[in-house]
């Protein structure tokens, strides 16, 4: 469930977290909404901000921002069981999101990545790690290293901060993903822009082959992660 820490000095996610007790100060938080409600509203939020703002008749500006109060009013009008919904509830969902999928500024909110609609994301380009990672089908890895990475049906390529982040992202659709490493230092030096989106996600338009390397299947992180997945599948 989604709760808010009652301790004013607590630094966690503007006070919002999932669970019963605050993971920082261990105090029981104030109830905001159930897992079912936060899950349902989270899916609506992703739909509106990434793919279809017209679904709930909200206006989106060129940078992907929508007004939380307008969105809350529209949803509560269409889904009467959400009559209690207010704009600040979306800010709470965004704050508690561990992946940093949303950005909130005052009454405005936007998705930081995952868009299928055309927008101009004015995201920061500083503090980019020296290497980022991208998951793919193992049988396609060698060809990708030779040809480069393109965005395909997405507006941007989504790169991960760590090998583990890339494994988890790839595992959503690939049983045992291969991992491609991106030399961001050289890419940026050659004029390619890379943007910070979520807490572990970075965006770019393309990655030519000269910046790509396949991470060996014997990498300790890959070996340990695959072993953990196998244990979980057996349980």
Q: Do domains 2-111 and 131-234 have the same CATH topology?
A: no
Q: Rounded to two decimals, what is the model's pTM?
A: 0.72
169-176: long-range pairs with CB below 8 Å, 24+: 169/135, 170/135, 170/136, 171/135, 171/229, 174/135, 174/136, 174/137, 176/138, 176/226, 176/229
75-81: long-range pairs with CB below 8 Å, 24+: 75/41, 75/44
How high is the pLDDT of residue 223? 94
CATH class of 131-234: alpha beta
| Domain residue extents for the chain | 2-111, 131-234
How high is the pLDDT of residue 24? 78
How high is the pLDDT of residue 8? 66
How high is the pLDDT of residue 25? 80
User: Would you identify the CATH topology of the domain 2-111?
Assistant: Arc Repressor Mutant, subunit A (1.10.10)
DSSP 36-47: HHHHHHHHHHHI
pLDDT tens string, the chain, 235 residues long: the values are 888 887 766 656 667 888 888 877 888 888 888 999 999 999 999 999 998 999 888 999 999 999 999 999 999 999 889 999 999 999 899 888 878 889 899 999 999 888 888 888 788 899 999 999 999 999 999 999 999 998 766 678 999 999 999 999 999 899 999 999 999 999 999 999 999 988 899 999 899 999 999 999 999 999 999 999 998 888 7
How high is the pLDDT of residue 11? 55
How high is the pLDDT of residue 9? 66
């Amino acid at each position: 469930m989604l709760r808010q820490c009652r301790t004013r000095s607590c630094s966690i996610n503007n006070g919002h977290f999932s669970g019963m007790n605050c993971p920082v100060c261990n105090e029981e938080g104030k109830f905001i909404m159930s897992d079912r409600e936060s899950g349902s509203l989270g899916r609506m939020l992703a739909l509106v901000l990434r793919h279809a703002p017209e679904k709930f008749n909200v206006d989106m500006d060129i940078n992907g921002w929508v007004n939380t109060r307008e969105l809350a009013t529209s949803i509560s009008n269409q889904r009467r069981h959400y009559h209690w919904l207010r704009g600040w509830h979306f800010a709470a969902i965004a704050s508690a999101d561990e992946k940093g999928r949303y950005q909130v500024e005052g009454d405005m909110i936007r998705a930081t990545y995952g868009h299928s609609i055309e927008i101009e994301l004015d995201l920061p380009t500083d503090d980019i790690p020296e290497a980022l990672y991208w998951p793919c089908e193992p049988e396609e890895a060698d060809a990708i290293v030779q040809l480069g990475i393109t965005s395909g049906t997405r507006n941007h390529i989504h790169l991960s901060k760590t090998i583990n982040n890339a494994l988890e992202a790839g595992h959503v659709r690939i049983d045992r993903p291969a991992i491609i490493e991106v030399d961001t230092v050289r890419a940026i030096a050659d004029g390619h822009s890379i943007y910070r989106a979520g807490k572990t996600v970075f965006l770019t338009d393309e990655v030519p082959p000269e910046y790509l390397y396949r991470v060996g299947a014997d990498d300790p992180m890959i070996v340990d992660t695959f072993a953990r997945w196998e244990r979980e599948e057996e349980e």
